[in-house]
Structure 1
Amino acid sequence: MKVTVWNEFRHEREHEEVRSVYPNGIHEVIAEFLQTAGFEVGTATLDEPEHGLTEDVLSQTDVLVWWGHMAHHEVSDRIVDRIHQRVLDGMGLIVLHSGHFSKIFKKLMGTSCDLKWREAGENERLWVVNPNHPIVQGIGETIELEHEEMYGEHFDIPAPDELVLVSWFKGGEVFRSGCVFNRGQGKIFYFRPGHETFPTYYQEPVQKVITNAARYVAPVKRDKPVYGNAQPLESL
């Protein structure tokens, strides 16, 4: 199974505070633990030609992992349309943290995807609310993160097809932090943690959730449904 990890790769190059946490980029940290889990992994970044997401790359990608924040507006609509079609055709998509405001996530959700936020380095407790779900296999009742950016409800998304994780923050807010959506033949998982100034993606439970999610949203090997005019199965 081929996973492509996409990242803007802007914060790490422009801000020393972020570079000190992810010197080679968030995408390289995610790619490394996914490779360790046995996936074939490639990476792509915003400033590559076609953002690194050529038709050839996407045609060979089973699961696309997306992290973006400061340059959502720079992502080409043409590339967004290309990703959108691949998801409808069955490619899995994992959207991380501030990717909630990415063009591709908003296009797939059909809503503003807006929310409350606060950067105070408070602790986050993610509660597993669907303990039988494959995405939280090997995870206990909670995931504890010492420092994270707060996201709070209301999160303007459609009701998830499956709600897997809910966050609580020290300041009192809660948030739907692990959400599965079905679009066409593809599955999407939104996973909230991952602010760029905190070492969230080095945390084993976070890595476990993303690894499990990659397996869960991977394409199902079956024929694509047939649409259009149909001949009757029985005599009319």
Structure 2
Amino acid sequence: MNWMCFCLNVMFLLESVLGILPAPLNVSVHSVNFLHILHWDPGPATPPGVQYKVFSRLSGETEKKTQNGYMTTATSLQLKLDKYKYYFTVQAFYNGTWSPESEEVSFSPFEQTLIGPPKVTVTECGNCIQINISLPEADKSSGIPNNDIMAIYKAKFRVLWKKSNKTEEVYKTQARSVKINNLEKGKQYCVQIQTEITMNKNTEPSTWVCTTTSIAELDRDGPHACQISASRGNEP
């Protein structure tokens, strides 16, 4: 350990004496609902006021392009990307000197962006509950038509529901409206929705949303609701 510390100190000293500007470190892309932010850390002993330039290339290509047409003193940059796979590097500039480029990091927007939890509303309808589901909107900078994430993915929803603390039931559906019938009256039921997307496994589930069935039996069928019978215990 002491030998490693000695080597690091020698390296930092050489960089200072020879005027070598260290490359940026820990380059990564943080992406939620198609809002893509590239982050990086200054290299060790980086002086204050250093500027950065971001380079990108497409998968299968060798030519690099500047992702930002200017240099920035910030250590993050919002990216505007299409559906391709990209590779990014960051380079520092200070006092007429360029650093080596950072290690290259890859990112594929449609496969790697994190899809946030679906929005879920649950209402009672007598001895049934009505569940309405919608995915979050894509960031406005994404260029996705109407910011509609559902329109670009053929998403399925895992519907988990349970009464009080009993074992939960699971169904899969592509419907945005689900009705679970044949429930006990006057009981609390809780629902959680998990999003399943074939080309993107980075999805977050909703929180558990609860409602209590009423004593009186009602019928509030939605015109496009998926019907699930609690007594059958099978997928729709």
TM tier, smaller: under 0.3
Larger Rg: 2
More strand by share: 2
TM-score by length of 2: 0.23
Between 1 and 2, higher relative CO (CA 8 Å, sep ≥ 6) is seen in 1
More helix by share: 1
